[in-house]
């Protein structure tokens, strides 16, 4: 019995457009509710959300047999964290703040077992192998790992062509918020200069044959990104959807006398 087939890896390789939700509420119960929306994928954010390995593992536990594929974003490119993420059962990883081909190559090596990589062997303890229930896990795991690296700075864009040459790298995600900050437009990912840079990068990634990724909550920009070749498309963030809906509901019933609350 081999490692579980990574459906999202296959879909991205086939050029399918997929839509997903960022999960930043960092809670398995809320992740289970999000799964009922049946997005193509759900991304567990280990970079900006209050997640740790146990909360990430608990969310994978409730999502792993659900309708959505699971993506786990690491806080950085630390090989030890990549190892832990894979061992708790994530098969699609998003690694932020990649600025060179060498850095992307190191992240890829951390995803694969020797001799092709540096991933430490601990599958007997790991959900990834179904706790050693998958006898051939070590020999079949690598083929099902999907690595997406984030390019989100001018230095990363300058290295993009070299990054796109990396064999075995599945996708490159352009981070509009951090790119905006690096371009001098902190807090304004919708700035025309930023949007142009994002769309041009998505076109370059798509032309390379790798999958292009992006996150936006603006339906018009989402359409523009898809037309530019984005196939891994984040279309919302659970935290902002939740917070906005609650504020709207409260405001509807808050009378004017309390409006200063
Ligand atoms: O730079 C970006 O944009 C991203 O990487 C996505 C953000 O981190 C996400 O938290 C939404 O702001």
Say if ligand 1 is within 6 A of residue 215 CB.
yes
- Shortest-distance atom of ligand 1 to CA 234: 6
Confidence at residue 246, expressed as pLDDT on a 0 to 100 scale: 98
**If you search the block for the tokens 């490159």, which residue do you land on?**
172
CA of 135 to the centre of ligand 1 (A): 38
From atom 6 of ligand 1, which residue's Cα is the shortest distance away? 175
Say if ligand 1 is within 6 A of residue 152 CB.
yes
CA of 194 to the centre of ligand 1 (A): 13
Ranges of residues in the chain whose predicted pLDDT is under 70: 256-261
Count the Cβ atoms, other than its own, within 10 Å of residue 20. Answer: 22
CA atoms within 13 A on the CB side of 121: 8
CA of 61 to the centre of ligand 1 (A): 25
Say if ligand 1 is within 6 A of residue 185 CB.
no
Say if ligand 1 is within 6 A of residue 236 CB.
no
Q: Which two tokens stand for residue 18?
A: 């997929």
Confidence at residue 1, expressed as pLDDT on a 0 to 100 scale: 86
> For the whole model, what pTM was predicted?
0.96
**Which of 51, 74, 94, 215 has the most ligand 1 atoms within 8 A of CB, as the residue to mutate?**
215
Rounded to the nearest 10°, the torsion over CA 238, 15, 169, 197 is -70
Say if ligand 1 is within 6 A of residue 182 CB.
no
Confidence at residue 68, expressed as pLDDT on a 0 to 100 scale: 98
**Which of 177, 181, 217, 241 has the most ligand 1 atoms within 8 A of CB, as the residue to mutate?**
177
| CATH number of the 7-259 domain | 3.20.20.60
Name residues whose C-beta falls within 8 Å of residue 48's C-beta, 6 or more positions apart in sequence: 24
Q: Please tell me whether residue 1 adopts helix, strand or coil conformation.
A: coil
Longest dimension (CA), the chain: 69
| ipTM passes above 0.90 | yes
User: Is the distance from CB of 119 to CB of 86 less than 8 angstroms?
Assistant: yes
- Residue range 29-74, pLDDT digits in tens: 999 999 999 999 999 999 999 999 999 999 999 999 999 999 999 9
Q: Is 48 a catalytic residue?
A: yes
| Domain ranges within the chain, ordered by starting residue | 7-259
Name residues whose C-beta falls within 8 Å of residue 22's C-beta, 6 or more positions apart in sequence: 43, 45, 215, 234, 236, 237, 238, 239
CA of 115 to the centre of ligand 1 (A): 34
Confidence at residue 256, expressed as pLDDT on a 0 to 100 scale: 62
Say if ligand 1 is within 6 A of residue 48 CB.
yes
CA of 96 to the centre of ligand 1 (A): 9
Name residues whose C-beta falls within 8 Å of residue 225's C-beta, 6 or more positions apart in sequence: 198, 199, 202, 214, 216, 233
Say if ligand 1 is within 6 A of residue 175 CB.
yes
Confidence at residue 255, expressed as pLDDT on a 0 to 100 scale: 76
């Amino acid at each position: 019995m081999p490692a579980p087939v990574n459906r999202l890896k296959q879909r991205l390789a086939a050029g399918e457009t997929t839509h997903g939700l960022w999960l930043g509420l960092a809670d398995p119960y809320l992740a289970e509710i999000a799964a009922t929306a049946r997005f193509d994928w759900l991304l567990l954010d280990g970079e900006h959300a209050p997640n740790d390995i146990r909360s990430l593992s608990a969310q994978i536990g409730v999502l792993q047999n659900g309708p959505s594929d699971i993506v786990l974003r690491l806080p950085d490119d630390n090989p030890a964290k990549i190892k832990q993420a894979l061992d708790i059962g994530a098969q699609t990883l998003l690694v932020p703040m990649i600025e060179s081909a060498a850095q992307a190559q190191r992240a890829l090596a951390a995803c694969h077992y020797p001799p092709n990589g540096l991933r430490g062997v601990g599958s007997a303890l790991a959900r990834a192998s179904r706790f050693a229930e998958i006898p051939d896990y070590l020999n079949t795991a690598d083929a099902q790992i999907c690595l997406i690296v984030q390019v989100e700075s001018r230095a990363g864009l300058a290295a993009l062509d070299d990054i796109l040459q990396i064999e075995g790298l599945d996708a490159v995600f352009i981070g509009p918020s951090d790119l905006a900050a690096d371009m001098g437009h902190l807090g304004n990912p919708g700035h025309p200069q930023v949007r142009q840079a994002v769309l041009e990068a998505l076109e370059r990634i798509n032309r390379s044959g790798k999958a292009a990724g992006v996150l936006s909550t603006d339906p018009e920009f989402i359409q523009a990104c898809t037309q530019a070749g984005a196939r891994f498309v984040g279309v919302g963030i659970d935290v902002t959807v939740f917070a906005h809906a609650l504020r709207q509901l409260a405001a509807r019933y808050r009378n004017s006398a309390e409006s200063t609350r």
